[in-house]
Structure 1
Amino acid sequence: MRVMASMIRLTTFITMLMVISNMPYSHAELSTAFYAKSCPTALSTIKSAVGSAVSRERRMAASLLRLHFHDCFVQGCDASVLLDDTPSFTGEKTAFQNAQSIRGFEVIDDVKSRVEKICPGVVSCADILAVAARDASAAVSGPTWKVKLGRRDSTSASKTKAEQNLPLVTGSLEHLLSNFRNKGLNDRDLVALSGAHTIGQAACVTFRGRLYNNDTNIDAGFRSNRRRGCPTTGGDGNLAPLDLVTPNSFDNTYFKNLIQKKGLLHSDQVLFSGGSTDNLVAEYSKNRAAFNSDFIAAMVKMGDIELLTGSSGQIRKMCRVPN
């Protein structure tokens, strides 16, 4: 009986080892030192390229942050947003939430090219997006943080999933809260991440409805001013700063604008409209340090959404196409 019991325990132990060895890598495998040996200059190379891009065009900081966000919310942080259409799938770039709002692909192409020259086939496009977002924030006096690395790239993308999962600029507060909760993000994460709209610009087509559809939660002078550059017809691509006061600096003015009913997008202003997130907007408007701290925590948390790690996915040679 003792021999049989020992054999059973041994068999169980071996079975457990086999199960563990075949399990997909979890988020625990991510590490801030992931490329320390395989590509020690990867992070400095990315930082240099992003810094140059933002120096050429300040708006690019917001664009790189948005790329990372729009990537993570679809299939997870897997660089699927970067993929061009192929005969086998229609990618995410033309999803209606993306068509007028995401850009910066050429910057990521440049970063990837530079990294490939020093470490071919080592650094994923998904990790480049995560690091570029951090470096873009720092380049415009925003917060910085340590990025966990080790993500791998998807081999496909989905316009359908993008349109199902990305939040809408016309969305209600309930829509936004539900959208974020579905990704494991809470109400504080929603408001903190929305604070990235303290930099960047939006196209007229994304905020026209707020200006002309009898939205009462808007300052009259602000509405009149924005209408000049966004007529009822035409001018869809005309740009306006998301933060009219300090559009090129990462600060907490965005939240002060919301309190004054000067949020550009409907999805901005609903954060301060008599709902459950009003207190967070008020807190961040008074306490920039609290906003920065919560923004960092939310960015790190978002960077963990539905990852490909270990042997899953691939390390793309070019970010726009699967290998």
Structure 2
Amino acid sequence: MVMMSIHTMNLSFSSSFFLAGVPGLEYAHWWISLPLTFIYLVTLVANFCVLFIIKTEQSLHQPMYAFLSMLLFSDLVQSNSTIPKMLLIFWFNDREISFDGCLVQMFFVHSFSIMGSSVLLAMAFDRYVAICDPLRYSTVLTNPVVTKIGILVSIRGILLILPHPFLVKRLPFCRSHTIEHTYCEHIAVAKLSCSDIRINVLYGLIVALSVVGVDSVFITVSYTMIVRAVLRLSSREARHKVGSTCVTHVCVILVAYIPALFSFMSQRFGENTSSTQIILSILYLIFPPMLNPIIYGIKTREIQKNVLKIIYYRISRKR
């Protein structure tokens, strides 16, 4: 019993985990890396481009674009905390990640995911005030208010996820140290423990329901009131303009929540980790950060004009 206890302690404090990649598709890792690399490059270019435009263009210094900047920043952090390591796994079979590095990655992935959801709620509130109470828009969403919302978004993401690393660190790991995933997802790591992980599962479920559940309810209420306000507009052109802005935001919400929902359900309630679950989790991490700046770039005329201005400037300089 003493020897078994020592063996358990040694494994519990092992300095490394190993990420499996996509179980069952190891032979296709290199092929998976090709679209992943392309998506990552597009994500970096598109997000930095839109962030640069918002920062440099004075006309875009408005609450809506401040919230968009927060969303794009959270997307960039989430992408950069996971995709580079995925590519190392797929390219060089570099699967090892330190225990502390795994906990740090877990914290950044989950906390910035919550921040992204919180920003989407803030953007829904912004659209609600702009459309349903336009005369008070400039007095309600002042710069100090937007700054406070940004601080609350950060605090919410940090406080809700801060227990995750500690809940994992308390666990003894006396089984395999190979995580059946491409990154350190909370439950995927906790499942490796030989002790009871019900607290991890319960807390993860509470966080997910309190974030996605609360945010989606308030977003739905906001857009219900927005739709009613839009239908009351007499001008067809005004309805089209307002509707176009709302459609953009709704597309971003769907892109964020649908893959997240499938990933969460498969990870919590799936009996065994499958390649399908892993692919869904990867899609949840890579598609929203790539599509968000593209959707806003296509649907927002101000961003469009500035992107074209930059392209024209680059071409004229080469000539």
Question: Shorter-normalised TM-score: what interval?
Answer: under 0.3
TM-score for both structures, normalised by structure 2: 0.27
TM-score for both structures, normalised by structure 1: 0.27
